[in-house]
Amino acid sequence: MELYARRKFANRLSAVGAVAATGIGLCALGLILATLLIQGVAGVNFDVFTRMTPPPGSAGGLLNAILGSAIMTLVGTLVATPIGILAGTFLAEFGRYSRIAAPTRFVVDILLSAPSIVIGLFVYEVMVISMGHFSAWAGALALGIIVIPVVVRTTEEMLRLVPDSLREAAVGLGAPRWKVVFLICYRAAQQGMVTGVLLAIARISGETAPLLFTALNNQFWSTDLNAPMANLPVVIFQFAMSPYNDWRQLAWTGALLITAFVLGLNVFARILSGLQTRQQRWK
């Protein structure tokens, strides 16, 4: 009897522990989002989107930082996406069993979780030193390097979901392999591949560490990719660490903007990939 009581007790205890862990975890994360929302919304106004980042102690907005982030995210994504998609295509189609496929998959896995600050260091070594100054190009490149593994991985996975019967049917009709891949498989995997790019954008839009030594920061309006450029994450870093209330308020607002953007993009990507899997189930 005592054994049963002990087993029952252990079972109860574990259930309570699991519920408590879930509660604590969700509370901590909910608390972060709630603080962010309360502090951030207080500072959302027209100025944030129309004025430049202010000098210490005065009011201003985040316009140049938002613009800088948008430009660098866009350039980084545009440069990295084709490379990522082509490499993913090689891994899934042309070179699925190639000798370089397995090592590439390993490298992609490592790059997916590699510390982003190290990628910043790498770009500093390769670009900033050779150009002699910090620049938005370097920032965009650093972000692009983070995009590549995400896109490679999702492209490969999505192409592998395309049923082989589809490929065989196309080949049977006399289509060359490149037409099979680019006109048939791509179309079947389209939504999933777009999802991958969206997730990659979500990933880099909050990245701070790789921009610290590449794009640096800029207090003014600048669209020159060859010069340091303001960007939201680094501005948030600088402003949140400062003792000035105006700056801290802007940091909260900027943090709210980034989080809303990232979460929104994630939700959108999820809906898209949901569509994809549903279509496949119907087939």
Partner 1 sequence: MAKQSTDLAGMIVAAPVKRADIGDAVARAATWIATVIVLILLAAILVSLAIGGRQAFAKFGFGFLTSVSWNPVTEEFGAFVPIYGTIVTSIVAMAVGIPVSFGIAMFLTELCPSWLKRPLGTAIELLAGIPSIIYGMWGLLVLAPFLGNNVYPWLIDVLGPLPLIGALFEGPPFGIGILTAGLILAIMVLPFIAAVIRDVFETVPPMLKESAYGLGATRWEVVWNVVLPYTRAGVIGGVMLGLGRALGETMAVTFVIGNAHQISASLLGPGNTISSTLANEFTEAVGDLYVSSLIALGLILFVITFIVLSIAKFMLSRLELRAGR
Enumerate residues 232-271 that contact partner 1 by CB under 8 A.
Answer: 233, 236-237, 240-241, 248, 251-252, 255, 258-259, 262-263, 266-267, 270
Per-residue x/- track, 116-135, partner 1 (CB under 8 A):
xxxx-xx-xxx---------
Total residues contacting partner 1 by CB under 8 A comes to 100
Q: Least distance in Å: CB of 189 to partner 1?
A: 15
In contact, 93 and 185? CB cutoff 8 Å: yes
Nearer to partner 1, 75 or 108 (CB): 108
> Binding partner 1 by CB under 8 A: which of 53, 75, 203, 276?
203
145 binds partner 1 per the rule CB under 8 A: yes
Nearer to partner 1, 50 or 270 (CB): 270
212 binds partner 1 per the rule CB under 8 A: yes
Q: Which of residues 81-110 bind partner 1 (CB under 8 A)?
A: 82-87, 89-91, 93-97, 100-101, 103-104, 106-110
Give the number of other Cβ atoms within 10 Å of residue 140's Cβ. 27
Nearer to partner 1, 89 or 276 (CB): 89
Q: Least distance in Å: CB of 201 to partner 1?
A: 11
Q: Which of residues 154-173 bind partner 1 (CB under 8 A)?
A: 164-165, 167-168, 171
Q: Least distance in Å: CB of 191 to partner 1?
A: 18
